Chain A
Amino acid sequence: LAKTTQPISMDSYEGQEVNITCSHNNIATNDYITWYQQFPSQGPRFIIQGYKTKVTNEVASLFIPADRKSSTLSLPRVSLSDTAVYYCLVGGRPQWNFVFGPGTRLSVLP
């Protein structure tokens, strides 16, 4: 299983773009990169998933370099409600056989 490393915490201000980088040096060929968001006392919520290059949806963008040894979650113009823990996961099918790391605690300040 690919191990991931993320910053433990980050601070940002409303309206700024936030980039959270995840390192996964031993990612396997069939592994996907997935990001989840979790608010206190709630279950994780899927944000975005990708395999290579760039993926964008209505919530975020995911940038993956050619070597796939890292990935960056980009949240445009964050608001106070984006304060949460963000998890980077790497794995292939079946993806229930994965390990959640400690995640990155993002605090958005007014």
Chain B
Amino acid sequence: ETGVTQTPRHLVMGMTNKKSLKCEQHLGHNAMYWYKQSAKKPLELMFVYSLEERVENNSVPSRFSPECPNSSHLFLHLHTLQPEDSALYLCASSQEVESLLASQFFGPGTRLTVL
């Protein structure tokens, strides 16, 4: 238990569906992150939020839309996804965006399958 929870843990959706992934951290951190991990590919950073403001968008397609309503919650809204978007989506948090890597705590991830 890392203090970062993600729901749902598994999601199957069609290409025309709209769904959202939720992340919540109970650590009092100010920075939150979304990562994508595809099969047989390295972990990829998608978005970085600091105090509810986005500080990094790592060339992510617009069909992925993040939202950070407060420092404890992070959402990833999904629409018109492609099968190649099937992956494990991981959320992480850290005290500050300037923190050393050691202080990043990852959630368990959401396994997304796009049909």
| A42 to B105 alpha-carbon distance, docked (Å) | 12
Q: Pick the contact of A96 from B56, B88, B90, B102 — CB < 8 Å?
A: B56
- B111 near A41 with CB under 8 A, answer yes
* B residues near A42, Cβ cutoff 8 Å: 106, 108-109
* A residues near B56, Cβ cutoff 8 Å: 96-97
Interface residue count for B (Cβ, 8 Å)? Answer: 27
- B100 near A43 with CB under 8 A, answer no
**Which of these binds chain A: B12-20, B68-76, B77-85, B91-99?**
B91-99
| A87 to B102 alpha-carbon distance, docked (Å) | 13
| A97 to B109 alpha-carbon distance, docked (Å) | 20
A26: interface (CB < 8 Å): no
- A43 near B107 with CB under 8 A, answer yes
A100: interface (CB < 8 Å): yes
| A46 to B104 alpha-carbon distance, docked (Å) | 8
CB distance from A27 to the nearest CB of B (A): 14
Q: Pick the contact of B42 from A41, A97, A99 — CB < 8 Å?
A: A99
- A32 near B92 with CB under 8 A, answer no
Chain A: number of interface residues, binned into ranges: 20 to 34
Q: Which residue of A lies closest to B41 (CB)?
A: A102
Most B CB contacts (10 A, CB to CB) among A42, A49, A89, A98 go to: A42
Q: Quick one: given A43-B2, A100-B42, A100-B43, are A95 and B99 in contact (CB under 8 Å)?
A: yes
* A residues near B90, Cβ cutoff 8 Å: 43-44
| A38 to B107 alpha-carbon distance, docked (Å) | 12
**B interface list, Cβ under 8 A from A:** 2, 4, 31, 33, 42-45, 48, 56, 88, 90-92, 94, 97-102, 104, 106-109, 111
Leading 7 A-B pairs by shortest Cβ distance: A43-B106, A100-B43, A95-B101, A100-B42, A49-B102, A34-B101, A43-B90
